[in-house]
Structure 1
Amino acid sequence: MLPIVEGTWIRLHVQPLPGTATPKPLWLWHFSTGREEVTAARVDRLWQTFLRRFDPEHTFRVFGQTPDWTRPRIRDPQAADRWTWLMIAVYTQLRSGRSLVEDRRRPRERAPATPARLSPARVRRGFRAIRPMIALPANAPKPCRPGPGRPAGSRNRLPAQHHEPGKTPTTDIKG
């Protein structure tokens, strides 16, 4: 059985926009239960939040279209949550780097897009050109030789474990 969640319905009357269509009232639901909590400033904030709902909706729509989010076969729910948050961070970085790349469109794509309209996939295509210009968070790997290992003549204190292969022996039964 689903839990009962109390809240407040807010009905907004939208002003007519240019055109012939008459606007319909907009209903918003908020989890507050008292009338004193729903002020004009609060309703204005709810309306702005309603308009911003497209950002996460389109983010997850893009996740479903690109194979990066669904490619790994993760069995642990916590690992899947970590992977989802990692992908959100990656796409946030791609969105913030839109102004650094130029549009590298494919022949089937219509017109070049402005930097503000670049999708994460197009930014990812142009990332190769900006990669040499950005700073690296780590130094280049230093060449080294392998470590000394176990000293010669000493015994291995942790021998490898031997597991039974799980096969059952066959017996010849003559009847």
Structure 2
Amino acid sequence: MRLNDPNTWLQADTAIEIDEHPDLGKVRVRQWIDLHFYRAPGQKVNLILVERMKPMSNGQPFPPLWLAWVGERTLPLETVWFKYLRRFGVDHWYRAKQRLHWTLPNLRTPEQSERWSDLMPLMSWQLWLARDLVVENVLPWQSGNISLTPGRVAQSMFSLLVDIGTPTKIPKHRGNI
């Protein structure tokens, strides 16, 4: 089953249609239960596809949202489909991971990888909490935003770090001066 090729999709196990959402229009949600990856046949995963049926203002269809669920029980589609509205935060999370170079370190053990991955949410929360404290550093080609994105907060963190200072002492000189 290739997600970008509907011709390879299996018949969905469950499906619902929300007729007319006030903001989204008609929404179709499908779920495939107990699938597995080729290289991990023992790990079951549920796939959920959220599709907006009404096209964008330029006539193009809205991009679909694929959600994966790994867990003991299956989620009812009536309660999970609205996660589509939260996709903006998810998109920014992945951009922030790229900006914070999540995949850059060449870690040797799974424990090191897990520790590094555990730091990612902490860094993201730091950016989220610092958004009201930083002074926006707008680059010449950027427009000013009312609310800062995590990328803009990371770009502007220098002003906050200067205000906070450092708890360390000034290093001593070595050798003859």
- TM-score, length-scaled by structure 1: 0.52
Higher helix proportion: 1
* Correspondence for 1:113: 145
Residues 14 and 26, structure 1, Cα contact 8 Å, conserved in 2: no
Gaps of 5+ in 1: 1-6, 145-175
Q: Secondary structure at the match of 2:106?
A: coil
* Distance (Å, rounded) in 2 between the aligned partners of 1:50 and 1:131: 35
* Correspondence for 1:23: 26
Q: Are 2:108 and 1:103 equivalent residues in the alignment?
A: no
Residues 8 and 32, structure 1, Cα contact 8 Å, conserved in 2: no
Choose from 73, 90, 108 the match for 1:56: 90
Q: Secondary structure at the match of 1:69?
A: coil
* Correspondence for 2:17: 12
Q: Are 2:123 and 1:123 equivalent residues in the alignment?
A: no
Q: Which runs of 4+ in 1 moved over 4 A?
A: 28-33, 141-144
Distance 1:32 1:50, change over 3 A: farther
* Distance (Å, rounded) in 1 between the aligned partners of 2:104 and 2:144: 29
* Distance (Å, rounded) in 1 between the aligned partners of 2:80 and 2:151: 31
- What is the letter of the counterpart of residue 25 of structure 1? R
Which string of whole-angstrom CA distances, capped at 9 and with x for unpartnered residues, describes residues 28-80 of structure 1? 558756xxx95xxx82x32333432443343123323x263233211212211
Gaps of 5+ in 2: 1-11, 32-47, 49-68, 173-177
Aligned residue runs from structure 1 range 1-175, under 5 A = 9-15=14-20, 23=26, 25-28=28-31, 29=48, 43=78, 45-64=79-98, 66=99, 68-109=101-142, 111-114=143-146, 116=147, 118-134=148-164, 139-141=167-169
Residues 29 and 81, structure 2, Cα contact 8 Å, conserved in 1: no
Distance 1:86 1:55, change over 3 A: same
Shift of residue 17 of structure 1? 5.5
Shift of residue 135 of structure 1? 8.3
State how many pairs are aligned.
123
Query: Which of 1 and 2 has greater Rg?
Result: 1
Identical aligned pairs, as a percentage?
24
Q: Secondary structure at the match of 1:68?
A: coil
- TM-score, length-scaled by structure 2: 0.52
State the superposition RMSD in angstroms. 3.7
* Distance (Å, rounded) in 1 between the aligned partners of 2:14 and 2:92: 26
* Distance (Å, rounded) in 1 between the aligned partners of 2:115 and 2:81: 31
